[in-house]
Structure formats: C-alpha cells, structure tokens
Amino acid sequence: MKRVLAMHKWAYFLVFLTILNTSAPSILNSELKFGSKEIEFAVLSENREAVMEFCQGKGCTYVGQITTIYYHIKCPTRKVEKFGGEKKMKEIAKKFYKIQELHMQRMHKNYPRTNDPRWAEMWPLNGAVQPSLKVTEAWSRGYNGQGISIAVVDNGVQADHPDLMKRFDLFNSFDYRDPSTHLNDSESHGTPVAGLMAAEANNSVCIVGVAYACKIIDVRLIGGETSDIMEAKALRHHLKVVDIYSNSWGPIDKICYNSIGPVTESALIDGVTLGRNGKGSIYVYAAGNGGPKDNCNADGYINSVYTIPITSIGVDGKATSYAEVCASAFAAIYSGTTDLSLTSTSRGSDCKVGLEGTSFSAPQASGIVALTLQANPSLTWRDIQHLIVQTSKRYNIEDGFEKQSWQINGAGYHVSQVVGFGLMDAEAMVTRAKAWTLVNPQVTCLTATKEVDMENVYVDFSNELRSYISETGKQCSISSLEYVQVEVFLTFSSRRGDISLILTSPSGTKSYLMTPRPYDSELTEFEYGTLLWKFSSVHFWGEDIRGTWKLTMKRGLYPYTPTANLQSWKLLFYGTSNGIINSTNFKEKTTVKPDGQKEPTPAVTWEDRTTVDFWNIGGNQDTVSPEDDGEQTENSGSSGGLSPGVYGIIVGVSVVVGLISVICRLYFRRLRHTRNLGTTVTRPRIFVTQSSNYNRI
C-alpha cells in the first residue's frame, strides 16, 4: 500500500513538472511540435497584445513568449486550411493585425554532441562545414561501430592513451616490425590515425572517433623496412577477428611504379575470400599524397581490385593540393589543408592539431564502413564498394583536373578523375545498408592480347596512338561492370613519366589511367626500358561491357618527339551477371600462329582493330578512325585520257567498293558512337549544403 501511495506521489510530481514546464513564460529551449490537429507558429510582433488579438480572431491558442520579439502560438489544422494555408495566414496576420511575420514550424532533428574538448575542431563531423560527412546523423540512428574490429596497420598506436585505451584490443595486437618491442612504444602516425576512427565519446578527452564504440587492433608494420612476407602477414592478421584493415601508408610518391608483392597480393585474396567468415575483409587505403603531378595507378596497393582507395578534399570543397589523379579512388573524405587542419589523438596521451594528408581521410572512411557493417553485418566486401559508389555525392566539389571535368558515366554515376564518386555520406551508407540486397558473385572476363603494329606508324610526326578492342558480349556474362583493368606492355626510350593513357568505354566515359609524372621523367631522363603494368579504373562502374573500347596513348609531352611506344594491351573486366553466374576465371587455350609461335588466347573471343593519329602538318593529312564517317573525298577531276573500257572497269569496281563500304558502315555503325562529355560547367566556388547531383540514391 505504501508503495502504491509512493507511486501516486511521483505521478503527481511528474504532472506538476509537466504543467510548470508548459506554462513557463519562456520556452526557448522547448521542442516545437505539431501533429495532425495543431500547427505551431512563431510570431514576430512588437507586443503581446497584438498576438493575443490574432489568436482570439482566428481560434488559435497563445502558448507564451519565446524571446523579446517572438511569441509561440498553436492553431488548429482545420482553421489554417480554412483560411487558405500558411501563405494566406501570413497575409491576414500582416494586414489586419500588428504582426510583422508568421513562421510555421517544421520539424527537424538535433543530434547529440559530445563533451570531448576538441569537438569544436572536428569540422568534418560537427556541422561547422557543409556538407558534412553525415556521421552524427548515423549516430542518431543508433550506429557507433559497436561489435566491429578495425586493424590499424601503421607504425604503432599508444595503447594506454586515455582516449583510446577502452577501445584498444591488446590481446589481438601484434608488432610485425619487432615482436620483442613493447606495443605501447608507438610512433607519431598510428595514434592520430586510430583516434579519428575510434576515440572514445563523452570522456572529456581530446576528440571523438567516427566509430567511437569499435575495437581497434594495433598491427605495427611501417616505420622501417618491410618485406613482402611482413606485409602479407600484417594484411591477413587475425582474419577471423578483424573486419576492416585501415592502411594509411604506401610506397614513395611521384616516382617509379611500385608493384604489390605476390605474397601480399595472395594475402589480400585470402582476406576477401576467407575474412569475416567468407564475407570478405575490407581493406581501406589512403590514395596517396603525390598531388596532381602524380598518379595513384603507379601504386600497386591502390590499383588493386581488393582495396578501397580514399582521397582527400579540403574545407573549401576542393581536392587538396596533395590529392593525386586516381582512376581507382572510390571516394573522398575531408582532410587538413593550410586553410584548416584536422585534430586527433597523439602519443604522450596528448591531442594533436595540424594533421594533413590522405592518411587522415582513410581512417574516417574506415569508421564509416564500421558503422555500415554494424547496420548490416551480412554485407560482403563488394557490397561495401557498391554502397560507397551509390551513396557518395558529387555536390559541387572542384577536383582541379583541367583535362576532363566531372562526367556522368554510362550507368548514371557522377565520377571524377581525382575524387572518384564524391564525398562519402555515413547516413546514406547505414540507411541503404539496412535494406541492401547482396550483390551477385563476381564474374571476370579477359580479352586476348592486342598486339600493336608500330611498323606503319610515322613516329616522327605522331604523339598520340589509339587502339581499339570491340566486344559483342556473346561469350562474357558480365551485365554490369565494376572494375576494369588494362594490362599494358610498352617500351620507352627516355622520360617514362611523360606518357598518358586514357581508356574510353563504349558509353563514352573517359578514364585517365596515367597522367604525366615529371619526377618520374627526371628519374628516367637518360634511361630506356620496358613497362608491363596493370592499370585499374572504377569509372565504368555499372556500365555495359559491349561495344568498342579505346585506349589512347600520348607518347610524350612534346610534338615530334615520342618517348614511348605501345606494344600490346588487353582488358580484364570485373562485374556481375544477372543471369547464370559463370566461373570467375576463364581457362586459357593456346593457339599456334602461322609462324609457329604460340600465343595464349582466352576462351573469350574478341574483335579488334588499331588506328594511329598523326600530327596534321599544314592541314593536309587526315586520319580515319572508327569515330569518323570513314569517308575521305578528293576532287579528282575528269577521267583524263582513259579509254572507255578501262573507265568502265573503274566505274564497276567503284560501284562494288561503294556497296561494300555501305555494308561495312552499317555493320560498324555502333563503333562510331560518341558522346560529348567534355563540356565544362562553371560552378560557384561556395561549397553548398544541398545538391541534386547524387550518385543514384
């Protein structure tokens, strides 16, 4: 009985508090709500009496004063509709009453903040810069990274940092540089990387991480010399435990072609096939800091089909000065510039400012992936790639790449040569993940090697070469592309960095696989050699495989002086099939050329042809390519002194040739299909909040 009476007392007390709260003269901090029966307005007026008079005349309820000039009222929805809606209500209030403005209240969400002292410096998250990464919106939906483990593959993380220690999985951490070293003996890079993805929330220390409830595993690798085996072990460290491997490291920028070791590549394959109980581990990589005079396709880690490269944009909404041209970059995340840098945890239990580089974009992306996996743990490594493609947004990001503006590929995705599919969106990722249908298994198709005959090329006058491969789609079941790789074999006589490679799809999408790298040119100024390399691109995501693929090679920076020649190339397609899923590996068969040499030829057959563009000297030389009409006319005058018989033969042959030409033109009509994607759109330099340029969400 006493317990019942006590409960009644508490009930009365709560009712009293409710009445006290709703009748308070100032409701500045209260939540404005309206349902189906009432609509709330904020009224701008010089005095309370005018508002009361309006309420009496229109059947509204006066709630109270909000500020010195604003008042709060509620009006029945039927009354508002009767008077003609919001616009008419405003007109009546201004005309017949001493009311200056009437603001109908529309609901919006306020998201939880953090008491971490450096929250004000976390501009990519706190709303100070728009558009944001929508991380707080993902938090408000209940996602914080709980249950997800991220391996920080770096130079060490301070295990007892007060902002990281509760997130640190010491038992599963390991030092591959020196197993005898105490893990807490960290260096300056890994700790701020870890903080951006996993720093604890609301502990009054430094910052808060994107996935502040995830577990971090310290995998110490960089900071000294490493071997292929060391890297492979680090990248498959505890496959059964690790969900995401976050990598903010790579080979030297700007020079050389740095391949991934075979053991490391095998480790990545193990990761995507065996990790997360067969769903595949997620490998996030910083795309590199070489700037516009570098290209990430020279980095074997970044152009791997098993990794997710992430690049950087600055607070001004532009690609950062260190962002590379990168055909394999999926998306961009904010990072520091000279205008405004990032803040994160640092060794010595401290907090560090001044952070710049793609190294600090990648961990934020890893955190967003963690939120996404928490929303749907069934997602595979390829589902994550598809989600990034479909939810990243262009806004009006300026990528600074003058040769090719943003374009819309054949599947409708906005794509950039520098920042991929745009800025990542955490809220869109977790929202789409909840109702996501898993993608079909991956299918891989391989073309025959296209040999390029250079004997008929006028190398003295040509700097640009075009080669074509056409696909009918009859023997390749891919209906929607993901990655496209181009294996190129070329020779160079000097200045290897002067070359450019551009792949154009049947839909007209251009991808700059390689761009001039002046530092690599200086390195090879007086050297000659060969290059066999796979260049990767995600720019054709979702496109149809069928049609003519064009590879354009610009063989040097200066006219008449080519420094390289294309010897051969072939295409590797990765994608999905809506029909029967074929094997992901085609068996190769060997055919014998007439000269007795053996040539490996895939089971997939292809039709191809090559053409070369020449410098047009004096405007008197023309080159016919599949994109032209195939007609070159010349005023030949009369038949001269030809006899009627000879003239008749010539006319007859001309008629036959004409018929053949018409038939060929009809057959190859689709080879001439072009799209004008080079139009530059002038956009405001202000980085806006809203944009209709979404990537199909």
pLDDT in tens, 1-34: 444 444 444 444 444 444 334 333 332 333 333 3
> What pLDDT score does 617 carry?
26
Nearest to 352 by CA among 362, 340, 343: 343
Task: Give the gyration radius of the chain's Cα atoms.
Answer: 32
Q: How big is the chain, counted in residues?
A: 697
Tokens representing residue 610 in the block: 């090559």
- Beta-carbon-side half-sphere exposure of residue 674 (alpha carbons within 13 Å): 10
The 3-state secondary structure of 145-189 reads CCCCEEEEEECCCCCCCCCCCCCECCCCCEECCCCCCCCCCCCCC
Distance of alpha carbon 274 from its chain centroid, rounded? Answer: 25
DSSP 694: B
Residues 425 and 505 in one domain: no
Q: How far apart are CA 631 and CA 403, in angstroms?
A: 29
> What pLDDT score does 66 carry?
74
Q: How far apart are CA 145 and CA 162, in angstroms?
A: 19
Lowest mean pLDDT segment, chosen from 35-39, 116-120, 420-424: 35-39
Q: What is the pLDDT of residues 282-331, one digit of tens each?
A: 999 999 999 999 999 999 999 999 999 999 999 999 999 999 999 999 99
Residues 306 and 407 in one domain: yes
**Prediction pTM value:** 0.70
Contacts of 594 (CB under 8 A, 6+ apart): none
Q: How far apart are CA 574 and CA 117, in angstroms?
A: 46
More confident residue, 523 or 108: 523
Q: Supply the range of the domain harboring residue 78.
A: 26-104
Residues 267 and 305 in one domain: yes
The 3-state secondary structure of 25-70 reads CECCCCCCCCCCCEEEEEEEECCHHHHHHHHHHHCCEEEEECCCCE
Most trustworthy range by pLDDT among 12-16, 33-37, 185-189, 591-595: 185-189
Residue 549 pLDDT exceeds 60: yes
399 is catalytic: no
**Catalytic residue among 186, 359, 467, 500, which?**
359
383 is catalytic: no
Lowest mean pLDDT segment, chosen from 97-106, 344-353, 401-410: 97-106
Residues 155 and 241 in one domain: yes
Residues 152 and 185 in one domain: yes
More confident residue, 108 or 287: 287
Average pLDDT, rounded, for the chain: 79
Number of structural domains found in the chain: 3
- Beta-carbon-side half-sphere exposure of residue 249 (alpha carbons within 13 Å): 22
Considering the domain boundaries, does residue 521 fall inside one? yes
> What pLDDT score does 83 carry?
85
Residue 192 pLDDT exceeds 80: yes
- Give the Å distances, CA to CA, from 230 to 235, 237, 251: 9, 10, 15
Residues 61 and 160 in one domain: no
Residues 428 and 450 in one domain: no
Residues 427 and 452 in one domain: no
Residues 206 and 349 in one domain: yes
Give the 3-state secondary structure of residue 276: helix
Q: How far apart are CA 192 and CA 155, in angstroms?
A: 11
154 is catalytic: yes
Q: Mean per-residue pLDDT for 136-156?
A: 96
Nearest to 307 by CA among 318, 296, 323: 296
Q: What is the CATH number of the domain that holds 223?
A: 3.40.50.200
Give the 3-state secondary structure of residue 219: strand
Q: Mean per-residue pLDDT for 598-611?
A: 34
Is-contact 157 448, C-beta < 8 A? no
Tokens representing residue 206 in the block: 């430094």
Predicted confidence band at 637 (pLDDT cuts at 50, 70, 90)? very low
Of 434, 463, 484, the position where a domain reaches its end is 434
Lowest mean pLDDT segment, chosen from 67-76, 278-287, 437-446: 67-76
String of DSSP letters for 362-421: HHHHHHHHHHHHHH-TT--HHHHHHHHHHH-B-TT-B---SSS--EE-TTS-EEBTTTBT
Residues 235 and 365 in one domain: yes
Distance of alpha carbon 19 from its chain centroid, rounded? Answer: 52
Residues 411 and 455 in one domain: no
Lowest mean pLDDT segment, chosen from 59-68, 204-213, 603-612: 603-612
**Catalytic residue among 45, 72, 116, 154, which?**
154
Tokens representing residue 224 in the block: 């000294």
Residue 237 pLDDT exceeds 90: yes
String of DSSP letters for 627-639: TS-S---------
Q: Mean per-residue pLDDT for 398-421?
A: 96
**Catalytic residue among 161, 189, 386, 539, which?**
189
Tokens representing residue 546 in the block: 């069928």
Residues 486 and 577 in one domain: yes
Q: Mean per-residue pLDDT for 245-274?
A: 93
Residue 660 pLDDT exceeds 80: no
